[in-house]
Structures are given as structure tokens and as C-alpha cells.
Chains A and B, each alone.
Chain A
Amino acid sequence: MERKIEEVLESLNPDERAILPFLREGDLKKISLQSKIDELRTSRALQFLGNKGILKLDYEKKKLIDLDDNGIIYMKNSLPERRLLNLLSDKKTIGFENAKKESGLSENEFKVSLGVLKKKAMISLSRGKLILEAKKEEIIKKSLEEQFLESLPLKLEELKPEQKLAFQNLKSRKNIIILIEEKQVIVNLTELGKEIITKDLGKTKNMIEALTPEIIKSGSWKGKKFRRYDIKSPVPKIYGGKRHFVNQAMDYARKIWTELGFQEMSGNLTQTGFWNFDALFTAQDHPVREMQDTFYIKDIQAKLPDKKLVNAVKKSHEQGVDGSKGWQYKWNEEDAKKVLLRTHTTCLSAKTLSELKNKKGKFFAIGKVFRNETIDWSHGFEFNQTEGIVIDKDANFRHLLGYLKEFFNKMGFENIKFTPAYFPYTEPSVEIQWFHPERKVWLELGGAGIFRPELTIPLLGEHIPILAWGPGFDRTIMDYYNIKDLRELYENNIIKLRKKKFWLK
């Protein structure tokens, strides 16, 4: 016990020491008054003493009556009825209009004053004139209301009968009094506390508070003790600057791709119909090319790449290549010239292929793609996609599955399976599904496949099987952060961003 007492004494900060002698007062307000430490600091010091086991705090709610805005003014200038009474005690009798003017009261104050004085039979009203009825001693005497206002603040529960009456009268009048709920903080000393307040604080007076350069330099710390801190007491929170969590996740994906030996492709968000669709063997009457699904830019027309490539793509659509039948329609250059917001990063793959010299390599892209959609918890018009292609003469379907497995495992998706799927520009196509360990369901992670010859021949000049996959990325981010509403990725609420955890992969 003695050791404990000593430790506690050594841990008292100046405010705690200052209020310690007055703890027996039992209530925050009184302690603050006696110790001359303001209420906020007293309150904090009491909390700390509580943490140290010296006391326990109880909170009681009390209703308190105090002056309101008008009340404060009336206390200075006296109540309106007093001002009217003073006027009358001078004049004894006065015309209604003159009284209003000379009293300097507002319309409302005048009306109320009349009522109050009449009710107390201190004046009467006759033929448009006010007549004083009260006797001199009555006039001099303070009214119940005046006495009541002077004695504020008062506790509602402790009102005397005549105070209750004054309270009722004043309550209905405009902003004279106000009812405040006040928290009363009651201090109960513990056994330890009772012990400590009897101790001599003198010994702890000269303890070192904050260590300063002067103390270090002068050596004045020698032989002195440092005040002990309550290391368990809570401290104000701070938040640092950081990258947006979506971008942290994107960088992680970049890391995975580069570890797997892929080279990054980059390019514009605005693309031509040619690169986004035609070069990818997407038929011109395909529903995805309608404005319903794709954002087209108004009043703008693009330039097409060199004629040779355009003609090769056109031929692939119209009659097919390499024994394929193609789409068997008339390909329209105007559709290819439309400008749009890319609907997938696959347009970057198409460009990369068309510029490829040595016809091999591994490439990836990551970035925003767009779809003409409304916004709700599971939809948006902007989202993040990542995409990889492998160009290799000997590549095959099993390799595709191998890359997918490796990629998704690295992204943190352990239990995955492959099912058949359909995309207009890959064959075979595959859907990657992931078994969600908590939700116990299979979820789609994205599509993959081997580019069709109708796509590769125009771009590369020959058919090389190109493995391609392009999972959406938002689901990965949402799953990691346990976000249920897609909109949260884009809302930029500073509180949430400050608190958002780091991407720890």
C-alpha cells in the first residue's frame, strides 16, 4: 500500500496536486471554485485521478433555471412592467398611446406589461387612459419575478412555492428564462484516495514535469524525481497522409504482374471504336456498341490507323480470315471512327499487338474503364480493370490456366476453378471462379481466353495464340476492405480515408 501511495503521489500532475486538498468538497464545481482551477481542467484532473484509483465519479443530471437572452437584458434595464410602473408612478395617469411611446417599450413588451400590472391590480384602464392604483410601498417592493430573476440560477427541483409561481409566470414570456440540463459530477473517494489526501504533498512538489533542454544543460535533474505518467490514459488520435486505398491496391497488382515478368502497357482513356471494338473482332451490330452501354463522345470524329491495318480488320469482319466465315456483313468505317471512353483495357492489348516487332512477350495493363451505367451499390460508370496478355507461338490453353492460377493465387484467391465462358474475341474462353471462404459461395473473378485468329491475324499478320485475361479489380479491393457498397471506392470521405487501413499485401 505504501509503495502504491508513493507511486501515485509521484504521478500527480500540477492540476491534480492543486485539486487534491479539495476533493472532500465532493462535487466538481465546488472543487473548481476552491482550487481556482477552471472546470475543464478540474474535470480532466478528476478523470486522471479516477484512472489512478483515487476516486470514483458519479454523474447526476439536474435541471437548472437560468437567465436567457432577454432576461440578461432585463436584469440590466429592469423588467418592462417595472419600466411602465415607474412611468406611471411619476404621471399617475397617462393616455394609452403616450404611455406606449414614453415607456420606450416594444409593442409586445407593452402588452405584456399591461397584462401583468392589471393582473396584480396595480393599474387600471379607463377611457383610453392608464391609471395608477398601487400604493407607494407596493411600487417600491420588488416583485416575485424580480426576486426570482435575481436569485438565478436555481435548481428546478428545489424551487420554493412563490418561486414556482414566478417561474410559471416568466416561463411563458419570451426568452427571459431558460431551462438547462446540467450534469453534476460527484466525487467519491476510494480507500486509497482517503489515504492519499492526508499525505503531505510537499515532497512531490519539486518533481520534474516535462524534460527541457535547460534541465539537461544545467543538470538540475540530478537528485530529482520525474513525475510518473499514466501511460495507460488515452491520447488524442492522429492520422497521417497516405495514398488512396484503391491506388495502393493498384500498385500491388502492378507488383504481381512485374514479378510474373509482365511489362506494363499504358494508354488513353478515350479510344476509337476501331481499337476498342473493331480490332477486337466485335461485330458492329453487337449490343455492347450501342450508346446504351458505351459512353460515346459528342461531335468528334477520330482518325483511323494506316489503311493496311484497317483493311485487314475490315476483311476479318466481312469475310473472315484463315478459313473463318467472319461476321458476314458490310463493315462500316464510320462506326470505327467514333470516339468513346474505353470499355476495357483490352484496347491497349490490341494496340500493343499491332505495334509488336518480335511477336512474343508478356504485357499487362491496369486502369480505369467505363460503362454507361447508373450508380448504385453494385454499379458505377467507372471501374478498375487489370489485364494481361501472353504472346508465345507455343502457348496453349493449359498455359492460360497456369497463368491464371498463379496470378489469382498471388492476388490472394486460393481456391479457384475454371468454367466455360463466352466472349466474342476469345476461343476457348474461360471464367475464373473463386470460392469465398466466409460466404461459402463461388464468385466470378473475371474472364479469360485465347484470342481468336480473326483478331490476331489482322493485328499480327499471322495467328499466334495469345493468352488473355482481364479480371475486374474493384471486387478484389472491396473484398479486402470488406466494403459492401461500390460507391465507397469513390466517395472521398476524409474521415473514412484517414481511418482506412493500409493495403498490407
Chain B
Amino acid sequence: MPYLDKMANIKLSRKEFERYIRINPEIERKISMFGTPLESINENEVEIEIFPNRPDLLSLQGYLRGFLAFLGKKTGLKKYKLQPPLENYEVKIDKSVKEVRPFTACAIVKNLNFDSEKIKEIIDIQEKIHTTLGRDRKKIAIGIYPLEKISLPIRYEARKPEDIKFIPLEMDKEMSGLQILQRHPTGREYAHLLKDKEKFPIFIDSKDKILSMPPIINSHKTGKITEKTKEVFIECSGFDFEILSKTLNILVTMLADMGGKIYQMKLNYDKEKITPNLTPEKMKINLENINKLLGLELSEKESKKLLEKMGYDYKDKEVLIPAWRTDILHEVDIAEDIAIAYGYENFIPEIPEISTIGSEDKKEIIKRKISEILAGLNFLEISSYHLVTKNELKKTRQKSEIEIEKSKTEYKFLRPCLLTSMLKILSENIDNEYPQKLFEIGKVFSRNIDNETGIEEKEKLIVSITPGNFTELKQVLEYLEEMLSIKLEIQESENESFIPGRIGKIIFNGKDIGTIGEIKPSLLKSAHLKMPLSLMEIELDDILEKLVV
């Protein structure tokens, strides 16, 4: 169960941080126990990892809000005052966006006082939400604009790309929608998000100035906040109104914590909506279930206190969930927060008395026995990759039926046999002491449409001796046969890798399960080998099947 998510680290100014909380070793420990691993700390900066389920902690303000509560300083659901929409605080949503990017959630925040530090923070959180929760702007794109350059109300509509013309950020010329996707660096990076769309979405003000073309880029004229900006218009666009609305909440509460005053806006969808909406969601919880899950016996009062340390309110068996939390799907999510508030270090580990009988996979046991038999004959076990390169296949005259999409290395094929890696390993060891007696047990892959995955995985054994001859290897095969109490038969055979007359197929229960013989000099040469090589490769599945019964 390794990490599966893109990680986001935030770097907070230590000075700003310490205006609220003095850092000492205990606080450093608490940062990690809050579920936000402390990555590094120095005199200027505190670097903290934020897991992808907590985008609300991605800013200094959001982090402090959560962490101060956790420390027991400002507990419970934090309240923010919302101003109702003023005249024209409105975004008209045209039906044309339905096909391309149907939703937006918007707000206005006034009374701001930016400095370069704050502007950097705002850009940072936008970026981080874009890459994590926003799935690289696909799910969420955020735009923040200086209000003084915009004439309200705003329209959100979709137009044909050729009918979109504005100067995008970092450019000095007007460009069309299509040109932006083709020529602008950011346009090119995100072009795939609008590819195949007949119309592109835009935000446009009442004087027909285009503010932006989400999720790609803002206009140069209206799309950049500066230290002079006192009031902003914020929009989040995407496909799921709820997640957009929560993202908006994360942003406006951050700005409110910077001293801003939040104004709502009217969004006229088919049914009018007003955002931001900070009404907490209520979730009924069953404390008995939570105690059972955690192995604790918390009273309602204790639970309430712990919930408040995680920024919730609790009332009448209901948890009031902050409107900026995106991660609460189920009661278990609340249970985890209670566990964090309780402190992972305070749980007493316990192993319950359930008696079960352990057992290994029976085939694994037989495979181990085969390995032990071979090790007893002085063979050394090797362990190679399941993926092989085109070149390795070519050198050993093998073909793979199964190719990987977009491998980051040369290893692009699932191995069809163990021969390829064996020859490769031998070629890497030509200058090491001989004789070299090697073996490997591993899976090989071929197609089989009858299987669930369309792929057949077979367990194989390869044994090689160099310098070695047929007799020496046949001795090994016969010893294996004897030790495993199985009956194998060698029949004459032909194969382009082996010397004619010195190759046999190995028969088990009437089925051809492998090959034994001396490798042709031409193949030795093409695999860059110097010494005579005898080798056998055997399918183990039937043998294992028989032996485990």
C-alpha cells in the first residue's frame, strides 16, 4: 500500500508562522502528528507535506486555522461573515458552456491589502489546487482578477475559438482562442483540455472585455493581481459544482483570514445559486461505531472536544463539517480525524486473540525445494526483471507478444521466456570465474484470450552451465526428477537456439514442458558469450500442480 497520490509540500515563512505559534521540538512533533509530516525546517522556512485529501491546508492561513484548533487554541468550526450580493454582483451563465465546462462558482472579496508575500501565497495555492485536487486543471481551474478593472455583471459563456480575441498573460498581442492553444506556452501545455471542443469557455465583463479562457489562461489586462489590488473577483470552473464551490470556500476563507471581506455573487443557472456558501454540512454520526472502529471508549463529551480540535462543531449527534473540507465522504473520515485529535501516539497497540493457522502458498514451498536442490548442486540463483528490452530479445532471437504502453525506460516487453535474461546475465559476467552454474525460477508471459486479462502467466525454471555440455545438464535434470519423485522423459527435438542432435524436449505426463540442450555457437556469438553453454528451460506449472496435491 504505497503512496498513490501526487504530493504537495507547502513552504511557510517561519516568521509568519511564529507570529501565531512559537516553534519548539514539541510543536515540530505535533505538526507531523496532525497528519502533515514536517519535511524540513530552518530559520526562514517551515516545509510541510499536505496530503491530497486536505487542500484546505495548502495556505498559511488554512494551515494555521487547522493547526491552532489541533493545539487546542482556537477550537471548533471557524465562522466567517458573508456579505450578500450587491447590485450587479452577478455571473450570467450561458447555456453554451454546458457542452464544454458547465459549472462555475464565484465570489468577490474586498478590503484586501496585498504584499508580494501574500501574492506569492495566492499563486502558490492556485497552482497546488490545480495540480492535485484539480487534476491538472481538468476538474478545477481557478481565476483571480482585480475587481477595479472589471465591469459587473460578468458572463460565463462559450464561443467559437475564432470569435475569442484577447491579449493573454505574458503576451503583448491579441490572439484568438485557437492561436492561444497553438502558440502560447501555457496554451500548448493545457491544449488537450479543450481539444475537440467546438466552443471554448470564456469569462467576459459587461463591457465585453474577455477576462479569461478557462482552464487555459487569463487576459493580460484584467487577469493579474498586484500589490495595489484591494478587491478581487474569484471564479472556479469545472464539471462538478460541489467541488468547485468547496474550492471557492478554501480561497475566500484564506483571503478573509488575510483581512478580506467576502461578498457573495448570484449565479444564474436554470435555478439561481449563490456562492460562496459557507453553511456547514451536517453529518449524523454514531459514536458507538466510531469507538468500535478505533478501539476506544470515548464519551460524547470527549468526542465533541476532539471534533472541535479538528475544526468541527458537534451538536445533537451531528457533526458540522466546515464548508471547505473536501474529503469527508463517510463517517470513517470523521473517525480518522477523531483518532488524529486523540493522538496516534496515545493508542495502545493490542493484538486480539483470534487463533488462525498460518500457511504458505503450497507452490511456493515446492519452488523453494527446487531451489534448494539446485543450490545443493552448486547452482547460484539469479533474479531478473520481468520486463526485457527489444535489443535483449533480438540478441537472443526471442519475440514477445506483449508490449507495454509508454514505458519510461527501454524495458518495454513482458518476457516470453527466461532464456533472454539468462543470456544477458551471462554476457555481463563473461570475465568472472568459471564454471558458472546458474538458475532462476520466474514467470513468463504469453497471450491467451480465454484468461481474464488475455494473458497467460507461466512459472518457469531455467538452469544453465557454462562451460557445460549436454551430459552435465542431463545429470541435473535426472537428479531433480529423482528428488521430486516425478517422471520426466527426454525426446529428440529441434529448436533454432540449440545444436541439432544435442537438444531434447522434456515430457511430463505426456506434455511437452521444456527443452534441454547445448546452445548453438551462432546464438552464443550474437549474445556475446565466449564459453560453451548447456541450458534447460522448463514449465513448472504442471509439476507444481502435481506436487502440491
Q: Are A254 and B364 in contact (CB under 8 A)?
A: yes
Q: How far is the CA of A423 from the CA of B34 in the complex (A)?
A: 16
**1/0 contact trace for A5-20 toward B, CB 8 Å?**
0000000000000000
Q: Is A227 in the interface zone, CB < 8 Å from B?
A: no
* Chain A 313-330 near chain B by CB (<8 Å), digits 1 or 0: 000000010111110110
A184 interface residue, CB < 8 Å from B? no
Residues of A with C-beta under 8 A to B293? 396-397, 428, 450, 465
* Cβ proximity bits B452-469 to A, threshold 8 Å, 1 near / 0 not: 111101000000000000
The CA-CA distance from A402 to B457 in the complex, in Å, is 37
**A394 CB-CB contact with B under 8 Å:** yes
Cβ contact within 8 Å between B383 and A244: yes
B482 at the interface (CB under 8 A from A): no
Q: Is the CB of B344 within 8 A of A420?
A: yes
CA distance A403 to B350 in the complex (A): 7
Q: Does A421 interact with chain B (Cβ within 8 Å)?
A: yes
Q: Which residues of B contact A399 (CB under 8 A)?
A: 295, 350-352
Contact B454 A329 (CB under 8 A): no
What is the bound-complex CA distance between A30 and B181, given in angstroms?
Answer: 88
CB proximity to A under 8 Å, residues B373-410: 374-387, 402-409
Given known A-B contacts A285-B135, A492-B382, A427 and B358 have beta carbons under 8 A apart: no
Interface string of B327-357 (1 = CB under 8 A from A): 0011111011001100011011111101111
Residues in B neighbouring A258, C-beta threshold 8 A = 358-360
Contacts of A452 in B (CB 8 A): 330, 332
A302 to B448, CA, bound (A): 11
Q: Does any Cβ of A come within 8 Å of B1's Cβ?
A: yes
Mark each residue of chain A from 379 to 407: 1 if its CB lies under 8 Å from any CB of chain B, else 0: 00110010100001011111101111110
Q: Say yes or no: A270 contacts B2, CB within 8 Å.
A: no
Give the residue name and chain of the A residue nearest to B454 (CB): A300
Contact B360 A254 (CB under 8 A): yes
With a cutoff of 8 Å between Cβ atoms, the chain A residues found around residue B405 in the complex are 291, 295-298
B381 contact set on A, CB distance < 8 A: 241-244, 247
A247-B381, A399-B351, A429-B336 in contact; A419/B454 too (CB < 8 A)? no
Contact with B along A325-348 (1 / 0, CB 8 A): 110110000000001010010100
Q: Does A286 contact B (CB under 8 A)?
A: yes
Within 8 A of A (CB), among B398-430: 402-409, 411, 414, 425, 428-429
Decide if B378 touches A241 in the complex (CB within 8 Å): yes
Tell me whether B2 and A324 are in contact (CB under 8 A): no
* B436 smallest CB distance to A (angstroms): 6
Q: Does A215 contact B (CB under 8 A)?
A: no
Does A420 contact B34, Cβ atoms closer than 8 Å?
A: yes
Question: Which of the residues A265, A268, A417, A449 comes within 8 Å of B1, measured between beta carbons?
Answer: A449
Shortest Cβ distance from residue B243 to the other chain A in the assembled complex, whole angstroms? 8
Please choose the segment from A89-97, A123-131, A142-150, A494-502 that sits at the chain B interface, where 4 or more of its residues have CB less than 8 A away.
A494-502
Cβ of B318 within 8 Å of any chain A Cβ, yes or no, is no
Q: How many A-B residue pairs have CB under 8 A?
A: 285
- Give the shortest distance, in Å, between B271 (CB) and chain A (any CB): 19
Interface string of A477-494 (1 = CB under 8 A from B): 000000000000110111
Q: Is the interface of A mostly helix, strand, loop or mixed?
A: mixed
- Encode contact with B along A404-420: 1 for CB under 8 Å, 0 otherwise: 11100000000001111
Interface string of A425-452 (1 = CB under 8 A from B): 0111111000000000000001111101
The count of residues in chain B whose C-beta lies closer than 8 Å to any C-beta of chain A is: 96
- Please give me the residue from chain A that is nearest to B240 by CB atom: A328
Inter-subunit contact B356/A361 (CB<8 Å): yes
| A434 to B: closest C-beta gap in Å | 14
Interface size class of A (residues with CB under 8 A): 35 or more
Contact across chains for B380 and A497 when beta carbons are under 8 A apart: yes
Interface positions, chain B 435-451, Cβ under 8 Å from A, are: 436-438, 443, 445, 447
Chain B nearest CB, measured from A402 CB (Å): 4
Distance of A250 from chain B, by nearest CB (Å):
9
- Interfacial chain B residues near A263, Cβ < 8 Å: 356-359
* Chain A 255-271 near chain B by CB (<8 Å), digits 1 or 0: 00111111111101111
A303 within 8 A of B: yes
Stretch of A56-64, A174-182, A368-376 lying at the B interface: A368-376
Choose among A288, A324, A423, A490 the residue that contacts B330 (Cβ–Cβ < 8 A).
Answer: A324
Given contacts A261-B357, A382-B386, contact A240 B375 (CB under 8 A): yes
Contact indicator B404/A494 (Cβ below 8 Å): no
A266-B363, A296-B404, A402-B350 as given contacts; A490 in contact with B383, CB under 8 Å: yes
**Chain A residues with Cβ under 8 A from B372's Cβ?**
243
Q: Which 3 A-B pairs have the closest CB atoms?
A: A420-B35, A258-B358, A396-B295
What are 29 A-B interface contacts by the 8 Å CB criterion? A244-B381, A247-B381, A254-B360, A269-B457, A272-B452, A297-B404, A297-B405, A300-B447, A301-B454, A302-B453, A325-B329, A339-B454, A344-B2, A381-B387, A382-B385, A397-B294, A399-B350, A401-B350, A402-B350, A402-B351, A402-B352, A404-B349, A418-B344, A426-B1, A427-B335, A453-B330, A468-B1, A494-B429, A494-B438
**Beyond the given A291-B405, A328-B243, A398-B294, could you list 13 further A-B residue pairs with CB under 8 A, ordered by the A residue number?**
A262-B358, A264-B360, A287-B5, A292-B406, A324-B330, A394-B292, A397-B294, A398-B349, A402-B349, A420-B33, A427-B332, A427-B336, A431-B37
